[in-house]
Structure 1
Amino acid sequence: MTVLPQTVFAQRASFYTTSAVHKDKAVLDRLVQLAQVQPTDRVLDVATGTGHTAFAFAPHVREVIATDITPEMLAEGEKLRLAAHHSAGVDMGKDEGRIANVEFRLADAHDLPFEDESFDIVTCRRAAHHFVDIRQALREMHRVLRPGGRLVIDDRSVPADDFVDATLNRLDGLHDRSHVREYRSSEWRSMLQDAGFTVEAIELYTKHRPLSAFTNGVEAESVAEIKHIIAGLSEAQRAALNVTEKDGEIYLDHWYVMVVGVKD
């Protein structure tokens, strides 16, 4: 059964502060590049978590408003912001200006508390698969963007393969009970167009990650089911997921997508 994201992430907030996946510099740098940022831009980061995307954009723009529905995540993000503001030891940078222009706010992606056409860029990273009504969230992102503004999304995805689609969504649902769906690139194109965006770019990429990415911090019953699913795969199914083993650890491919939409 799907549960509210804030129920899950209130318990995991501190993990996201140090998560290598969420701090992935190459991915963050690519998002900044796709956004075509300008120094005068006002940016909204939807479902910011602990703020890694907001911090990546901050040095390049005038202001970043970082929103999330989970107070505990925002509190961890504010700790990071203050630590980086006062110390060069935090790996998000030494530039105080980079941190001073980030503001955290509690907000629901489905009902953003901002005026129409009030942002130049909207970002959303590794969060959309939790939204209970993705189309409503996209309409809200479109509403708050100025004409010509850019939406840049990075999220987990699935290929156009029914088995891989079903399996990865099942695994992620066991890993995180607030998971709703990882979408195919064709679904992203359709959803953005329906929300009023012109789709400018869709970039797919994969990462070969350990099975522990699905099992860490998960209840024993769910871990057992995840392992049962992997153990029951046929050779063809293992090949479709690129299942490998190294040093006693099972690895498989994870699919991701970056999408850029422009508000006409």
Structure 2
Amino acid sequence: MKMPRDPRNTFSGSAERYFKSTDHQTGPDLDFIRETAGRAMPAVTVDVATGPGHALKAAAPFSGFCLASDLTREMLEVARKHLSGAGLNHVRYAQARAHELPLPDDSADLLTCRIACHHFPSVPEFLREARRALKYNGTFVMIDSIVPSDRDAASFMNRVERLRDPSHVRSFDLNQWREFFRVEGFIVRTVRTFQRTHPFREWGARVGLKGEGLENIEAVFRDAPEGIKEIFRIETGPGGVVVSYTDEKAIFSACRAE
């Protein structure tokens, strides 16, 4: 397998499209973050790989100090524009890798990371960093795409994601995530899953994919085995045009084990 591309090569030119994306602007995961922050009223909230800032927009109204971190400068600029435009002026911004957060130990009451971990070169390394930065009684909310436990289905979706965006590293299944949390010293309090249907062309356009690149992925979807088409609910129209597919997301709420 090729080494994943630097995510900045993907996201530097697509930040505004990610802000406008219906996949990212709405969802039960944002409701979960909003409810969690509303109950906890955290003094310090940190959003890792904030992208255009949707997760922090949900948490910030209930939070004191807020930090938005992201590897891509252009994403931070879009987040700053839209969060400031929403009157959320108590947010600070930091360009940082997910496993090198500019935070002291035991500092975050609420730490969030939404739809980003599949780009991280090492999930365990990120979880260790999250645990370091999180207060003992703090809450860590991690949301990401997951794949089925079926090996062929998991391989199919990871292949498709890498074709679309070479910065994709890997999506994991639910049990793999549970084991990551256990090994890295977290207690998982809540797990929820939900499905997300992606309009195919919007999904491709978000990362600037068009022409032959989009056609190649369309062929992979169209030629997939029937079992794979059923799992991912691949919908086609006249002439075999791919209309949409559906994947699954997981919401984990965890705390430090000690």
Of 125, 150, 160, 1:161 maps to 150
Question: Which residue identity is paired with 2:255?
Answer: V
Equivalent in 64, 69, 72 of residue 70 of structure 1: 72
Unpaired stretches in structure 2, ≥5 consecutive residues:
none
- Counting only pairs closer than 5 Å after superposition, residues 122-133 of structure 1 correspond to structure 2 as 122-133=111-122
Question: What's the offset of the Cα at 1:221?
Answer: 3.8
Number of equivalent positions:
251
Q: Does 1:14 align with 2:16?
A: yes
| Matched residue type, 1:250 | V
Which segment drifts farther, 18-27 or 129-138?
Answer: 18-27
**Equivalent residue letter for 1:64:** C
Contact 1:171 1:214 in 2 (8 A): no
For 1:151 and 1:54, locate their aligned partners in 2 and report how far apart those are by CA, in whole Å.
13
Determine if the alignment matches structure 1 residue 194 to structure 2 residue 183.
yes
Q: Do residues 230 (structure 1) and 230 (structure 2) align?
A: no
Query: Aligned to 2:140, which of 125, 128, 151?
Result: 151
Alignment of 1:112-123 (within 5 A): 112-123=101-112
Deviations 1:100-146 (A, max 9, x none): 22211111111112110011111000111000111101100000011
Partner of 2:44: 42
Task: Specify the alignment match of 1:33 in structure 2.
Answer: 35
Find the aligned partners of 1:34 and 1:154 in 2 and give their Cα distance. 13
**Cα RMSD (Å):** 1.8
Q: Secondary structure at the match of 2:176?
A: helix
3-state SS of 2:67 partner: strand
- The residue number in structure 2 matching 1:53 is 55
**Alignment TM-score, normalising by the size of structure 1:** 0.89
- What is the aligned counterpart of 2:249 among 234, 252, 256? 256
Question: 12-21 or 212-221: which moved more?
Answer: 212-221
Q: Percent identity, please.
A: 29
Letter in 2 for 1:177: P
- Give the aligned residue type for 1:39: M
The amino acid of 2:132's aligned partner reads R
Q: Distance in 2 between matches of 1:231 and 1:136?
A: 37
Gaps spanning 5+ residues in structure 1: where? 86-98
Q: Distance in 2 between matches of 1:150 and 1:36?
A: 12
Q: Distance in 2 between matches of 1:236 and 1:155?
A: 24
Give, in angstroms, the shift of residue 36 of structure 1: 6.4
Instruction: Please report how far the alpha carbon of residue 34 of structure 1 lies from its aligned counterpart in structure 2 after TM superposition.
Output: 4.2
1:177 aligned to 146, 159, 166, which one? 166
Q: Is the contact made by 1:199 and 1:262 (CA closer than 8 Å) also made in structure 2?
A: yes
Q: CA deviation at 1:55?
A: 1.2
Q: Which moved more, 1:243-252 or 1:13-22?
A: 243-252
Hey, what's the Cα distance between the residues in 2 that align with 1:235 and 1:185?
A: 23
Letter of the 1:54 counterpart: L
More off after superposition, 252-261 vs 65-74: 252-261
SS in 1 for 2:100: coil
Q: Shift of residue 35 of structure 1?
A: 5.4
TM-score (norm 2): 0.90
Aligned to 1:92: none
Q: Distance in 1 between matches of 2:100 and 2:45?
A: 17
| Counterparts of 1:78 and 1:240, CA distance in 2 | 38
Of 25, 28, 44, which aligns to 1:23? Answer: 25
- Cα shift at 1:40: 4.3
Query: Residue 35 of structure 1 contacts residue 150 of structure 1 at CA under 8 Å; is this kept in 2?
Result: no
- In the other structure, the counterpart of 1:88 is none
Q: Distance in 2 between matches of 1:121 and 1:149?
A: 6
How far residue 38 of structure 1 moved from its aligned partner, in angstroms, is 2.5
C-alpha deviation, 1:8, in angstroms: 1.1
